[in-house]
Amino acid sequence: MHIIVSIKSVVTEAPRGEIVRTADKSVLNPFDRPALEVALQLKETHGGSVTALSMGPPTAEASLREALAAGADRAVLLCDPALAGSDTLATATALSAGAQYLSPFDLMLFGTRTADSDTGQVGPQTAVLLGLPMVTGTTRIDGPPDRLIVERKVDGFEERYEVATPATLTIHPSAAVPRDPSLGGLASAFDDMPVETISIAQMGLDPSLVGDAGSPTRVLSIKPVKRKRTCQWIEGTPVMQADALVRQLVDKGLIG
């Protein structure tokens, strides 16, 4: 099997103004780690290779090297000034072009969401652009490589699908516990293994379809939320606490 895992280098704190992804404020998206682990387990079961694919500035290389340290065979970074400002649709457009550039493949895996923007849209949008089947929130994968049995749990139901490959899946965080890379793996990934950088020209991608030009949505501002709520402890026995709470609610006019 050839499995592509889409990963993202996410910002660790809300920026004030334009998002600038620097190495000291970026980490591998935690929701992508289970997807990478599932890909590695499938490789160990069926053989083949795992390619980690990301879109971002050069600082995103660090997250790709983490994937290499964990066991990915290849790391590819879609990096081009024209990609700056991409919303989820423009990002999916770039990732679908990247997947086609890396074809053929059997599976393309995504995390369910990202820790910074938290939309959960890129995986399904990429699947639509590729014209491939998609199952979201996958918790288990079984079966032969050409026709997988995929499970997910949603709204109190457990669903099972038969999925012909090539296909795309988003992986629920409960699907796998990510492995810890060894020190030797980290040293090899950061010192010896290459990260390939691909431009939009190499993918044959029209600049008008990505970046600000290809984004129908704009982030107008991002700022930390100011929390105004405070917590008040009511002391005493349960009866005393209940009486004090009722008095406060009556005094505030919340109950009659």
- Residue labelled with tokens 């997807």: 35
Whole-number percent of the chain with pLDDT over 90: 75
What pLDDT is stored for residue 26 in this prediction? 80
- Residue labelled with tokens 């935690």: 30
55, HSE (Cβ side, Cα atoms, 13 Å): 27
Residues in the chain, total = 256
Q: For residue 86, tell me if it sits in a domain.
A: yes
Digitized pLDDT (tens) for each residue of the chain, 256 residues in all: 999 999 999 877 655 555 666 666 789 999 999 999 999 999 999 999 999 999 999 999 999 999 999 999 999 999 999 999 999 999 999 999 999 999 999 999 999 999 887 899 999 999 999 999 999 999 999 989 899 999 999 888 999 999 999 999 999 999 999 999 889 999 999 999 999 999 999 999 999 999 999 999 987 777 777 777 778 888 889 999 999 999 988 888 888 6
What pLDDT is stored for residue 220 in this prediction? 79
DSSP 87: -
Q: For residue 108, tell me if it sits in a domain.
A: yes
What pLDDT is stored for residue 15 in this prediction? 58
What pLDDT is stored for residue 254 in this prediction? 85
| CATH number for position 39 | 3.40.50.620
Put simply, whether the predicted model's pTM sits higher than 0.75 gets the answer: yes
Q: For residue 228, tell me if it sits in a domain.
A: no
99 lies in which domain range? 2-209
Phi and psi at residue 208, to the nearest 5°: -70, -10
- CA angle, residues 114, 118, 119, in degrees to nearest 5: 110
Give the type of residue at 139: T
Q: For residue 125, tell me if it sits in a domain.
A: yes
- The helix/strand/coil state of 27 is strand
What pLDDT is stored for residue 21 in this prediction? 62
What pLDDT is stored for residue 90 in this prediction? 96
What pLDDT is stored for residue 252 in this prediction? 85
For the stretch 125-170, pLDDT in tens is 999 999 999 999 999 999 898 999 999 998 889 999 999 999 999 9
Work out how many domains the chain is built from and give that number: 1
Cα of 115 vs its chain's centroid, Å:
8
- The helix/strand/coil state of 86 is coil
- The helix/strand/coil state of 117 is coil
Q: For residue 120, tell me if it sits in a domain.
A: yes
* Distant-in-sequence, close-in-space partners of 76: CB < 8 Å, separation ≥ 6: 51, 52, 53, 54, 64, 98, 102, 195, 196, 197, 198
Q: For residue 132, tell me if it sits in a domain.
A: yes
d(Cα 209, Cα 202) in Å, to the nearest integer? 15
Q: Residue 19: is it exposed, middle or buried by C-beta count within 10 angstroms (0-12/13-18/19+)?
A: middle
Q: CA of 73: how far to CAs of 47, 105, 142, in Å?
A: 12, 14, 22
What pLDDT is stored for residue 34 in this prediction? 96
Q: For residue 68, tell me if it sits in a domain.
A: yes
Q: For residue 226, tell me if it sits in a domain.
A: no
d(Cα 53, Cα 161) in Å, to the nearest integer? 26
